[in-house]
Chain A
């Protein structure tokens, strides 16, 4: 067979193989690149070019234009050279890509990036997409700084910053991502968070139990560092919230209409039971159904034949100070059952409003009085009394309001629910105050009848002085303030109040609120969750104790780089498949003629017949050629098919080559007559190839290259 390649045909053949490889590479890489470019462009339009942008701003669609202008302004003023691009709008939300110029990509800027965009109109949320990066989710606050420091020491890491509980690690090169992920995993692996949870209802001193747990762990599982990192703010927040709820409930209770029930003999009421009264609706009758306007009351306390309750459905007339009606039991489907006794409802809100109005009236009178002091001398005493009383109460009120305001706004919270709470509480406080004022007024009216005018005159000078002082006081300002309070009284009905109280009660009652928890950070190596559990359970001796072990952060596959990686992968796969297809095709269509000629020459020649066709040198040569072409094209076109090592590619190439050589005559039959004629005429093998075999073979690469050497063009 070797003689076949003598006389320079090996040169032809090497050129052919090289050109084949080059062409194959261009073919595979070219098509794969074109596909990649096409899909890549589409993708880039959607998710932004890799590494070009730092943040996606999710903006309400209506504010799109305004947001765009603001972002442009931000780019111009804060980050000259910034890139801004709008992408798809999904579900009423527009998305803008914002990319910082390289010089602004610093730790300081990145860590505060969201705050730069706080004023962008319609901003819902943001996603940091700086690349190349690694995203660590759920980084525990207590180790975040320590982690950042360790990670930043890794070579290839530019810096880290946190955003909404995630840590973003910016890299110098995307190539490093895989290796750095491993390094970071290792660092994360040095920490472990052990959480002890006690169910609701257990009063646990977290600090003390935490110390105890740490002492136990240090003793039983030494060699690690334990630290109590029980997330303080979580517990405090919850406590404050609970307290707020309780205060709110108490206020609502005091603000709700008071229901007093006097049960008939032989009637026993229980807490939680519901009874109905007529209210402003139709008269109730046993066996009938509740109608619009009837009022349903839930019993909240029972004491002998006396019970208290609150309205959970319906309203008593707004202006009605109190109401006496007969009460009936009701079933949950609204059917009225037996009568139970007398129900008295007092509308506290009405009384409150009345008291305020009364104060206002008196205050207005006072003002008039102070201008015309002498004309109003008969009423001066009473007015003064009332005024003094009101004045005193107002001072108390103001002091209380200040205190309250400080107490609540001191937490630096601006949530609207707490604002609502403030106003509710103020009203609640004012209620008792106003009542006091009303009583004072009534007393004074009584005493007015027994007024000793002489005594009054005697003290008139003194009174005049005092009245004169009134003019120095800005009564109008006080009136305004009280009027404001009056106007801001919550417009809650009894039904709303009742429902709110019930809701708060179920909430406080517990299922929803988690119990106490203690978090212990374990450093310098992991401990076995089971071991920790045995140690703690044995010593802390609480059957309800739950012990969990979690990581201090989880590396999140970055979706975008994942997509881009996938795209490159797809390109590499396509290139790989194309390389295989190309190799098979070129061998079949072009090179097969070499195999079939070789096989014919071997048959005619002196070569010994082989029992094992597999070892036929022509087939082996075909395999070698296939392996060389495929492997080269595969490597040069940057192809990569997952799970296929280079060894398997060599094997596939070899197999394709072998098969093509095996069936070469089918793809490219030899014209035996012409070949034997050439032999008989004393032509060398290379001449036979160049002048007889190749020219009459299928037009292709080999045919084309042969033209340079061919002497008879025919």
Chain B
């Protein structure tokens, strides 16, 4: 479904991506792990071009994402759900508006959009907070609103950039729960960047380990964590054992 070929990105002298190749099948859940600054976010943002890669290729169902016109890119992005580490909710809109407004702006009927939004909020376990502003919610709730927003348009691909990393440890659980539910209940292709090892172990079809802008190891979780070959893999194995 998704094919990334020799993707490269540098920021001045910093190399964020140094030739990444990755194939993701339809319905597959891929978890990307790696030390801070290894290029995970850059990689995932390059898929829907929130960051423009310097070179390489992104093929989604055979179409080159990097060649899309502005309009085509917008249409493509609408089919890709993106969950940010820091929620990225629109502060001035209510919870419900946050989840529906992009549907309306894409041309959907308001009532339909509202129904979709309510359904998506229900899916993440939020019922009676529709009229609140994001700032009136807990971090976990906010992130669930953000997940609902990504879900509302019925995405074919979901990209998660460390969705629990900025949450209070006691709130992490509720978000992971929602995520796990989603992975199990839908057939949506997912690429998840996370440091939650046990979560990865449970939900990932495949784990990709990155270091210094490159993929250093990949494979099913039981293989990666039992017999890692890379330095990073060994570190994660140790982490899991402790």
Cβ–Cβ < 8 Å partners of B76 in chain A: 682
Contact (Cβ within 8 A) A674 B70: no
Q: Which residues of A contact B61 (CB under 8 A)?
A: none
| A674 engages B149 (CB within 8 Å) | no
Q: Which residues of B contact A432 (CB under 8 A)?
A: none
* Neighbouring B residues of A3 by C-beta, 8 Å: 70
Per the 8 Å Cβ criterion, residues 135-173 of A in contact with B are none
Chain A residues with CB below 8 A from B106, complex form: 682
Contact A604 B50 (CB under 8 A): yes
Q: Would A696 and B84 count as touching, CB distance under 8 A? A: no
B interface, size bucket? 20 to 34
Task: Tell whether A673 is near chain B: CB-to-CB under 8 Å.
Answer: yes
B75 at the interface (CB under 8 A from A): yes
B78 with A681: CB separation less than 8 A: yes
Is A550 located at the chain interface by the 8 A CB criterion? no
Given known pairs A3-B70, A682-B75, A682-B77, the reply for A711 and B88 (CB within 8 Å) is no
Measured in the bound complex, the distance between the Cα atoms of B121 and A638 in whole Å is 59
Stretch at the interface among A406-414, A422-430, A684-692: A684-692
Partner of A679, one of B50, B87, B89, B97: B50
- A115–B161 Cα distance when bound, in Å, is 99
Do B91 and A683 touch across chains, with their CB atoms under 8 A apart?
Answer: no
State whether the Cβ of A647 lies closer than 8 Å to any Cβ in chain B.
no
Give the residues from 525 to 579 in chain A that come closer than 8 angstroms, CB to CB, to chain B. none
- Inter-chain contacts of B236 with A (CB < 8 A): none
Our pick among B78, B88, B92 for the contact of A695 (Cβ within 8 Å) is B92
B88 and A682 contacting across the interface, CB-CB below 8 Å:
no
Contact B78 A674 (CB under 8 A): no
Please tell me if A396 contacts chain B, counting CB pairs below 8 Å.
no
Give the nearest-CB partner of A681 in chain B: B102
User: Cα distance A684–B88 when bound, in Å?
Assistant: 17
Query: What are 5 A-B residue pairs whose CB atoms fall within 8 Å in the complex?
Result: A604-B52, A680-B77, A684-B74, A691-B90, A696-B91
A611 at the B interface (CB under 8 A): no
Q: Which residues of A are found within 8 Å of B87, using beta-carbon distances?
A: 673
Q: Which of A671, A674, A681, A687 has the most CB of B within 10 A?
A: A681
Complex-state Cα separation, A604 to B41, whole angstroms = 14
B52 touches A692 (CB 8 A): no
A581 to chain B, nearest CB (A): 31
How many positions in chain A have a CB within 8 Å of any CB in the partner chain? 25
Tell whether, in the assembled complex, residue A677 and residue B74 are in contact, meaning their CB atoms are under 8 Å apart. Answer: no
**Chain B positions within 8 Å of A679 at CB level:** 50, 77
Q: Is the CB of B105 within 8 A of A711?
A: yes
B51 close to chain A: CB less than 8 A: yes
A132 to B74 Cα, complex, angstroms: 68
Spell out B's residues near A (CB within 8 Å).
48, 50-52, 70, 74-78, 80, 82, 84, 86-94, 97, 101-102, 104-106, 149, 153
CA distance A691 to B104 in the complex (A): 11
Given A677-B84, A684-B70, do A606 and B52 touch, yes or no (CB 8 Å)? yes
Given the interface pairs A676-B50, A696-B91, the reply to whether A682 lies near B97 with Cβ below 8 Å is: no
Q: Is A714 an interface residue (CB 8 A)?
A: yes
* CB closest residue in chain A, given B83: A680
* CB atoms of B88 and A676 under 8 A apart: yes
Whether the Cβ atoms of B74 and A712 lie closer than 8 Å is: no
Contact status of A714 and B92, CB under 8 A, knowing A679-B50, A681-B102, A682-B106 = yes
**At the interface, yes or no: A69 with Cβ under 8 Å from chain B?**
no
Interface pair B97/A687, CB less than 8 Å apart: no
Shortest CB-to-CB span from A687 to chain B, Å, is 5
A683/B92 in contact, CB under 8 A: no
A691-B101 contact, Cβ under 8 Å, with A676-B50, A680-B48, A683-B74:
yes
A680:B50 contact, CB within 8 angstroms: yes
Q: A680-B84, A682-B77 are in contact. List 9 more A-B contacts (CB 8 A).
A: A604-B50, A606-B52, A673-B86, A678-B90, A679-B50, A682-B102, A683-B105, A714-B92, A714-B94
Q: Are B105 and A677 in contact (CB under 8 A)?
A: no
**In the complex, are the beta carbons of B93 and A714 less than 8 A apart?**
yes
**Chain B proximity of A146: nearest CB distance (Å):** 80
| Min distance, Cβ B32 to any Cβ of chain A, angstroms | 17
Bound together, the chains give a CA A3 to CA B106 distance in angstroms of 18
Let me know if A712 and B77 touch, CB within 8 A.
no
Residues of B within 8 A of A604 (CB): 50-52
| Chain A residues with CB under 8 A of B104 | 711-712
Contacts of B97 in A (CB 8 A): 712, 714
Given contacts A677-B84, A681-B149, A687-B105, contact A696 B75 (CB under 8 A): no
Q: Which residues of B contact A712 (CB under 8 A)?
A: 93, 97, 101, 104
- Measured CB to CB, the closest approach of chain B to A669, in angstroms, equals 14
Residue on B with the closest CB to A607? B52
Bound together, the chains give a CA A710 to CA B29 distance in angstroms of 38
Q: How many angstroms from the CA of A683 to the CA of B153 in the assembled complex? A: 13
Q: Are A681 and B93 in contact (CB under 8 A)?
A: no
Among B52, B70, B74, max chain A CB count under 10 A is at B74
Give the CA-CA distance A223 to B66 in the complex, in Å. Answer: 88
User: How many Å lie between the Cα of A678 and that of B90 in the bound state?
Assistant: 9
Which residue of the partner chain B has the closest CB to A674? B90
| Nearest A-chain residue to B89, judged by Cβ | A677
B2 to chain A, nearest CB (A): 16
* Chain A residue nearest in CB terms to B81: A680
B183 to chain A minimum Cβ distance, whole angstroms, is 20
What are the residues of chain B within 8 A of A666 when measuring CB–CB? none
In the complex where A604-B50, A680-B82, A712-B97 touch, is A673 in contact with B88 (Cβ < 8 A)? yes
Give A440 to B75 CA distance when docked, in angstroms: 145
Residues of chain B contacted by A304 (CB below 8 angstroms): none
Q: Is A605 an interface residue (CB 8 A)?
A: yes
